[in-house]
Structure 1
Amino acid sequence: MQSSSKFLLCSSNSNPLFGSPSAVTATLLPSCLRFPPLSLTIIANSSSIRFKPLRSTASSSDSPQFTEMASKDSKDQDPRIARISSAIRIIPDFPKPGIMFQDITTLLLDTKAFKDTIDLFVERYRDQNISVVAGVEARGFIFGPPIALAIGAKFVPMRKPKKLPGEVISEEYSLEYGTDKIEMHVGAVQPGERALVIDDLIATGGTLCAAIKLLERVGVNVVECACVIELPELKGREKLGGKSLFILVEGEGA
């Protein structure tokens, strides 16, 4: 099935959390371009590429004004993004009518696209002194462990209620109807550690927001959230309380 996803790569240049430009940035842009964290997006389809400002989730004090952008043609596109996007299958009306389900199981069957996905995250977070990769149940468990191993961090599962055997702390979050919780083992992380929160997709943002709150309650510095896919029309990034969000592919939720 033809994927309806767009290609999207959000990257950081001058953010003090990240220091020097990432390898992903260097691949996509010439050195003459300067842009703030999460302020530039490459959106492509089969016929064209254009640049546009991306709404930043950082506070205005941390995000300088966007100063320059330029049109680029397809030869400057990182081919890994196209490969990842085309490997994600879109299933209409699942799990209910009107939903365009972003199926990453087909991405996992494509060994090159799966490796590209992990490599892009590793290139961004390598050498950033991240000691915790927190994976959100369930598909965050797929992407989180290989990233953690590659950057030398520990992997911490953020699980649904009554799944972890030991003593836990929990954070409640709202659903369309009712509430749910996310839990983490007591002692899994320590105050002052630097964490990356990873999931496959951000939709309404409730689960990622709960994961951030849970980690910050015990004194962890959440450096960033990262997802393979964003459904921007659901405005999930607005619930992250100004926390940076890094994504690879922009999908369609309906």
Structure 2
Amino acid sequence: MMQTTSLIRCSNLLPPSRFAAVAASPLLGASFTRSEASFCVQLPSTSSQNYRFTHSILRCVASNSVQGRQMASEDGQDPRISRIASAIRVIPDFPKPGILFQDITTLLLDTKAFRDTIDLFVERYKDKNISVVAGVEARGFIFGPPIALAIGAKFVPMRKPNKLPGEVISEEYSLEYGTDKMEMHVGAVKAGERALVIDDLIATGGTLCAAIKLLERVGVEVVECACVIELPELKGRDRLGDRPLFVLVNAAA
């Protein structure tokens, strides 16, 4: 098997004294370099499974830092949560410098972790009399349909402007620079239905709020919002107000 190398960059995780001790260790043959603001850890690996293993070691090393991924949420330390967290790849400086991108495509490649993700949501919502699962474009379309099928609900896509072919209602929401809109087909939901709103990640909470407002405008009760990942530092949960939010994994913003 051809050997590949995984390079993971972490910022401000260790003070110089602790970094020196770690850099001198023989951990998995790792090599370390450090600049003023960051250090790099280069780990040999032969498979994506090895990548997840070494990534979890880094999380342990960085457990006291905001860079460390922490297990969420109200349901405690379910072992499936750890597997899901380890399957999510973090890519620095994408799509622009300073951003730590939470990449769920590696989670989708791990059939066990992907199934665990769906199962955790299904277990939570199967007995809550939910008739609508509203998925936020675009990655809400990945998680929403299998959850909807499993709990016996319909799936309703919440889309960006000019994507839906029929008559729509829309809700404008603010971005860092400017505004955007969320749209839903007229007649997709009915007053009195109970809905779950799902997306892969909550950051500032703008898109989730727009989806909630669309549903509430036509008399739908939003039971809860659900995401795989939360970026707590961006305070999207606060923007939701008193609307409940359930997440599986907390990550640094």
Number of aligned residue pairs? 189
Q: CA deviation at 1:241?
A: 2.5
Partner of 1:193: 193
Map 1:49-198 onto structure 2 (within 5 A): 77-198=77-198
Q: CA deviation at 1:78?
A: 1.6
Could you give the per-residue CA deviations for residues 210-238 of structure 1, whole angstroms, max 9, x where no partner exists?
Answer: 00001000000000000000000000011
- Name the aligned partner's letter for residue 121 of structure 1: F
Q: Which amino acid aligns with 1:232?
A: P
- C-alpha deviation, 1:127, in angstroms: 1.5
Helix, strand or coil: the match of 2:114? Answer: helix
The reply on whether 1:10 has 2:85 as its aligned counterpart is: no
Secondary structure (helix, strand or coil) at the match of 1:10 reads coil
**Residue 246 of structure 1 corresponds to which residue in structure 2?**
246
Partners in 2 of 1:78 and 1:227 — Cα distance? 16
Aligned to 1:203: 203
What is the distance in 2 between the residues matched to 1:96 and 1:194?
A: 38
Counterpart Cα distance in 2 of 1:182 and 1:241: 19
Give the TM-score of the pair, scaled to structure 1.
Answer: 0.73
Deviation of residue 5 (structure 1)? Answer: 1.9
1:37 corresponds to: none
CA contact (8 A) 1:9 1:81 kept: no
SS of structure 1 residue aligned to 2:72: strand
Q: Secondary structure at 2:181's aligned position in 1?
A: strand
1:171/1:210 contact within 8 Å kept = yes
For 2:190, give the aligned amino acid: Q
1:9 Cα deviation (Å)? 2.3
Q: List runs of 5+ in structure 1 lacking aligned partners.
A: 12-41, 43-76
Q: Distance in 2 between matches of 1:90 and 1:10?
A: 24
* Partner Cα distance (1:223, 1:145) in 2: 17
Question: What RMSD, in angstroms, separates the aligned Cα atoms of the two structures?
Answer: 1.0
Q: Which residue in 1 is equivalent to 2:41?
A: none
1:8-31 Cα offsets, whole Å, 9 max, x none, are 1224xxxxxxxxxxxxxxxxxxxx
Match of 1:23 in 2: none
Contact 1:7 1:248 in 2 (8 A): yes
Name stretches of at least 5 consecutive residues in structure 2 with no aligned partner.
Answer: 1-7, 9-54, 57-67
Alpha-carbon distance in 1 for matches of 2:203, 2:72? 15
Correspondence for 1:213: 213
Structure 2 counterpart SS, 1:190: coil
* Alpha carbons 1:90, 1:101 under 8 Å: kept: yes
| Partners of 1:153 and 1:93 in 2: CA distance | 38
Distance 1:241 1:8 in 2: 19
Who is 2:17 aligned against?
Answer: none
1:67 paired residue number: none
CA–CA distance in structure 1, aligned partners of residues 222 and 194 of structure 2: 6
When you count helix as a share of all residues, which structure comes out higher? 2
Return structure 1 stretches of 4+ with deviation > 3 angstroms. none
